[in-house]
Amino acid sequence: MSAPPPTEPFAGRAYKEGFHDDIKTLKSVPKGLSHAVVDYMCDVKGEPNWMREFRHRSLDLFLKQGIPEWVPGLRDEFHYDEFTYYVSPVEKSSRRWEDVPEEIRRTYDKLGIAKEEQKLLGGLGAQIDSEMAYHNIQESLAKKGVIFLSCDDGMKQYPDIFRQHFAKNIPPEDNKFAALNAAFWSGGSFVYIPKGVKCDIPLSVYFRINAEQFGQFERTLIICEDDSFCHYVEGCSAPIYTTNSLHAAVVEIYVKERARCRYTTIQNWSTDVYNLVTKRSMISAKGVMEWVDGNLGSKRTVKYPSCYMIGEGAHGEVLSLASADKGMWQDAGAKLVFLAPNCSGRINSKSISGHGGRSSYRGLVQVARNATGCRAQVNCDALILDPHSRSDTYPTMEINGDLATIEHEATVSNVSDEQLFYLTSRGLKKEDAVSMIVNGFIEPVVKELPMEFAVEINRLIGLQMEGSVG
């Protein structure tokens, strides 16, 4: 945590996760992407042949595909050969915290992901660079048949369930970054909730990038069988270097009939990290999917959690919170795709741009012709804190037929002088007044979070507010 140089016109927030530790690398590959890297990864992971073929095919697709046109700017900034595509500081994923190498434990202690957290959680996973260092689940949940493993272990231990769902929801053909992930995926979680099982306490995973100029490609597969429930929470961070890193995750979720899944993200990458993520859920009849997507860090985020409602009466919901501080561009949003009758969906997006940051909401609501009686409601509100910052809103609604009701509302506003005056006239300091207004602004999203995470979000946003209005 260091003070900004005096020449800076405005200060960004202090990033306490920006340290890096010297952690011994056990396995790694040379910089750049190639078929040789793919082969190396398959060899050290001991993967079946079908996966090797899948990875090679995905790499070919990646090399062929262009960056989607609407992703602005990325094309010119990117040099794929700058990154290292596989770095592992661990031999295997441990089930006991004591078995995790000490230097890695030290990193996690500093981040506050101490072992104590397990008490609040149904399961905890910790990934460092390419591999999961730790992955464990509470005995009581394991007894009910809940599976919570690293994605690699999921493939090995439950090959049938894995292969039935893997890449069926997001195939490598979907987009360039999904193809990149498919070629180099490593780590992430495999979650299986059996029929009727309600997993009331959250399963949580923390992703840490420690290596420099590195690409992290975790892959998560969540299957909620009929009538089940689960809440999955992820957090992340990375050191501050002078170079860039890349994080391209893929998350596939299957919410089966009447099941409910909630997926909470608190993304807090350093401003070195390009965060290009594909997240999608398939929701069967009367199932409910809830994405709570908090984007507070990264150099650039491109991420639109999606709900594909494939069964009658499905419900999809996205709560999106983006805070674009100095050096950040949050291109976040959501997608609701209605493919069955009588489904409903809601998107609630709040973004804050300050210290020259830029936030964009990009959204799609699509209604197929036979998806009658669907309703969707989209609200996006943006707050701009200073004249150096920017906010954009790009919603798209594509409706076939008449039997849908779709509403979109958006506002962009600033912290008004009247509000500031009113609050300061009651004795508040200006910074506290701004912070109060901002907290009020994001409240509708934050109140949906579990308490620990709400506190964390408020802390992170609070840090961003420091000295934000001069």
Partner 1 sequence: MNLDAQRALAWQTYQRLPLPSRRDVEWQRFDLRALNLNEIEKRPQSVRVSLNSAPGVTLVPLVDQQPIGRAIPPDEPNKFAALASALWRHGAFLRVPAGHKADRPIEITCEFTGANAVAFPRTLIVLEPGAEATLVQQFTGPGDGVHASLTEVFLEEGARLHYVSFQNLAPGALDFTLKRAHVARNAEIDWVVGMFGGSLTRYDVQCIMDGEGGNSFIYGAGVVDDRQQLAQFTRQHHRVGHTTSDLLFKNVLRDRAATNYAGIIKVEKNANGTNAYQSNRNLVLDKTVQCDTRPILEIESHQLRCTHGATVGRLDENQLYYLRTRGLDDTTARNVLIEAFLDPVLARIQVESVRQEFAEIIHRKVLK
Residues of the shown chain interacting with partner 1 in the complex, contacts defined by CB under 8 A? 70, 369, 372, 382, 384-387, 389-414
Distance in Å, CB of 389 to partner 1, minimum? 6
d(CA 187, CA 200): 24
Distances (CA, A) of 171 to 55, 116, 219: 12, 38, 12
d(CA 304, CA 125): 24
Distance in Å, CB of 201 to partner 1, minimum? 40
CB closer to partner 1 out of 157 and 413: 413
CB closer to partner 1 out of 225 and 386: 386
d(CA 250, CA 43): 22
Distance in Å, CB of 436 to partner 1, minimum? 18
d(CA 298, CA 329): 8
Q: Report residue 179 as tokens.
A: 């193809």
Q: Report residue 323 as tokens.
A: 């805070």
d(CA 295, CA 329): 10
Exposed/middle/buried for residue 80 (C-beta within 10 Å: 0-12, 13-18, 19+): middle
Distance in Å, CB of 426 to partner 1, minimum? 23
Distance in Å, CB of 357 to partner 1, minimum? 12
CB closer to partner 1 out of 292 and 433: 433
CB closer to partner 1 out of 394 and 421: 394
d(CA 180, CA 144): 35
d(CA 369, CA 127): 43
> β-pairing, 215-216 with 147-150?
unpaired
CB closer to partner 1 out of 379 and 424: 379
Q: Which residues contact 16 (CB under 8 A, 6 or more apart)?
A: 1
DSSP character for 84?
Answer: B
| Rounded-to-10 torsion of CA 291, 314, 124, 448 | 40
Q: Which residues contact 116 (CB under 8 A, 6 or more apart)?
A: none
CB closer to partner 1 out of 381 and 456: 381
CB closer to partner 1 out of 281 and 393: 393
CB closer to partner 1 out of 250 and 384: 384
CB closer to partner 1 out of 191 and 352: 352
Distance in Å, CB of 409 to partner 1, minimum? 4
Distance in Å, CB of 416 to partner 1, minimum? 8
Q: Which residues contact 326 (CB under 8 A, 6 or more apart)?
A: 10, 11, 12, 13, 271, 354, 355, 356, 357
Distance in Å, CB of 380 to partner 1, minimum? 9
CB closer to partner 1 out of 67 and 397: 397
CB closer to partner 1 out of 251 and 384: 384
Distance in Å, CB of 129 to partner 1, minimum? 38
CA dihedral sign of residues 369, 406, 352, 210: negative
Give the three-state DSSP class for 301: strand
> β-pairing, 27-28 with 87-88?
antiparallel
Distance in Å, CB of 415 to partner 1, minimum? 9
d(CA 336, CA 313): 14
Least Cα distance to 288 among 263, 267, 320, 269 occurs for 263
> To 10 degrees, what angle do helices 417-425 and 430-446 make?
110
Distance in Å, CB of 166 to partner 1, minimum? 31
